[in-house]
Structure 1
Amino acid sequence: MPSSGNAGYGGDVAGRTNSPGETVSRRLLTVLDCFDVAHPALTLTEIAKRSGLPISTARRLITELRDWGGLERLADGRYRIGMRLWTIGTLAPQQRGLREAALPYMHDLFQATQENIQLTVLEGHQALCIEKISSTKAVPTLTQVGGRLPLHATGIGKCILAFSGKELLKSLAEAGLPRMTPHTITQPGRLATALAEVRKTGVAYSYQEMTLGAVSVAAPILALDGRVRGALGIVAHSRAAVERLAPAVRTAALGIARSIR
């Protein structure tokens, strides 16, 4: 689960469409899709370029979103997501319930290890970070809350992928498994073998597969029916013996799962 230097990994440029039949609501969403962890603030021109909308259309939609509270204008003229959207986002039941249940366990792990602790859920074909605890003593990471990570190259991603069914793995394999470092597993067969081991042991590892100098150990958070709710992991310096942390991570993940059932 080492973090990528590209916090918005896999995030496509939003929209790039100006279909005559496109609804106003769809265009509003296209504007919002322009923002991500790597692009938290954008100018009008940047929004128009990333969305594929004409400047005039982008300006009108931005004004509507700003009046509603979905966007706010900074002193330098750029725009960022507004507080109203943030407030609505916090109501998402899966993320909110999981995060609230996980925080006590995350703090315990952090106090015991002083390493980066991350909580993620599946979103599309990526792992979405919904909570993170770290310190200046831990290995530097650029992953932020709201950032996305590849499933095949991270410990938390492998946990999610291992318990998400064969179709997701097949889809990822067909799209190609990007090589993030020389250690990244890019062969579907090797990845399938690694995921079988995750299902067997209940933990996943990433040895400098996402970022050189960082390793991770993670455990899945499972529902009673075996569905994966998310994954909890520790990211540490490559010199750390993360295998020794596996029991603690797995115990914490089991505790979180019991708390949300």
Structure 2
Amino acid sequence: MADDTPRARGRRPPQGEPVLDRAFRLLECFGPANRSLSLAALSDQSQLPKATTLRLARKLVEHGALERTDSGEYVIGLRLLGIASLAPRGHGLRATALPYLEDLHHATGQHVLLAVRDGHEAVLIERLSARGAGRVAYRVGGRMPLPSTGVGVALLAHAPRPAQDEIVGPNTELRTLLAAVRRDGFAVVSRLRPDPMTSIAAPILDGHRTTIAALSVVTRSENVDPAALSPAVVAVARAISRATAALGAQVD
């Protein structure tokens, strides 16, 4: 029987793939380890032909989404930063929460994170770091797994049931943890590598009592007493929730 499945030829982009999709494929090539990329690297990582990559890259440079360095490589352009700053779940929430996060950071002397859920991941929108508090691997704008991070577990515990079922599956231990988070109002998650770290996290709600974000204090496991830190984390999360609800009421 003949196989009628279309076959990809070389590095030709999929037939009918929208230009916008290809442009995002280029932008998604950049990351903490790839802040500057050559045309060849962009073509290789995006799996687009060099001619297509060059055409799209030139157009993105023209619109300020990419910039060229003196060496001829490409970097993310400042225009994307300006556009991203308008995201209400990013910069807007960060602006409301930042004074409270700074108070928590100064009071604890530890890392403080703020994240929102995006599908099956958490996106870090703010991080206040502390010297000597251990390594935090995630950067602002970076994505974090929901089931194994403090903010992720706090967000997952209050996610819609279909999303929980899809992510958690038959993991009864994780389901028990999520139930405890809903009961206690905070999550405690520890990791062993690369450094033993513990995170205490709590959800942030809007004026409709919907979880829109989570914050956490992250510190070396030997330095943390969850019973001592959790009241402060919960109190700050509630303060941000009230501020967010009041801001929403003013907008309405």
TM-score of the superposition, structure 2-length normalised?
0.87
**Following superposition of structure 1 onto structure 2, how do residues 144-183 of structure 1 map, counting pairs within 5 Å?**
144-173=139-168
**Following superposition of structure 1 onto structure 2, how do residues 33-182 of structure 1 map, counting pairs within 5 Å?**
33-173=28-168
**Quick one: which amino acid aligns to residue 77 of structure 2?**
G
Do the aligned residues in 2 keep the contact of 1:205 with 1:215 (CA within 8 Å)?
yes
Counterpart Cα distance in 1 of 2:208 and 2:24: 34
Counterpart Cα distance in 2 of 1:93 and 1:111: 26
For 2:179, the equivalent position in structure 1 comes to 196
Describe the SS at the equivalent of 1:239.
Answer: helix
For 2:243, the equivalent position in structure 1 comes to 259
Q: Which has the higher contact order (CA 8 A, sep 6+)?
A: 1
Say whether residues 1:249 and 2:244 are aligned partners: no
Say whether residues 1:225 and 2:220 are aligned partners: no
Which of 171, 185, 190 pairs up with 1:207? 190
Do the aligned residues in 1 keep the contact of 2:207 with 2:244 (CA within 8 Å)?
no
**Quick one: which amino acid aligns to residue 253 of structure 1?**
A
Do the aligned residues in 2 keep the contact of 1:28 with 1:61 (CA within 8 Å)?
yes
Q: Following TM superposition, by how much is the alpha carbon of 1:206 offset from its aligned partner in structure 2, in angstroms?
A: 0.8
Q: By percentage of residues, which structure has more helix? A: 2
Describe the SS at the equivalent of 2:223.
Answer: coil
Q: Following TM superposition, by how much is the alpha carbon of 1:24 offset from its aligned partner in structure 2, in angstroms?
A: 1.8
Counterpart Cα distance in 2 of 1:86 and 1:39: 17
Q: Following TM superposition, by how much is the alpha carbon of 1:118 offset from its aligned partner in structure 2, in angstroms?
A: 0.5
Which residues of structure 2 form unaligned runs of 5+?
1-10, 246-252
Counterpart Cα distance in 1 of 2:225 and 2:112: 13
Q: Following TM superposition, by how much is the alpha carbon of 1:74 offset from its aligned partner in structure 2, in angstroms?
A: 2.0
**Quick one: which amino acid aligns to residue 42 of structure 1?**
L
Q: 1:135-184, CA deviations, whole angstroms, 9 ceiling, x for partnerless residues?
A: 2222122211111111000110000000002211222245xxxxxxxxxx
Do the aligned residues in 2 keep the contact of 1:216 with 1:242 (CA within 8 Å)?
no
Counterpart Cα distance in 2 of 1:91 and 1:111: 28
**Quick one: which amino acid aligns to residue 191 of structure 2?**
Q
For 2:218, the equivalent position in structure 1 comes to 235
Percent identity over the alignment is 38
Q: How many residues align?
A: 234
TM-score of the superposition, structure 1-length normalised?
0.84
Counterpart Cα distance in 2 of 1:164 and 1:32: 29
Do the aligned residues in 2 keep the contact of 1:154 with 1:209 (CA within 8 Å)?
no
Deviates more, 1:34-43 or 1:107-116: 34-43
Larger Rg belongs to: 2
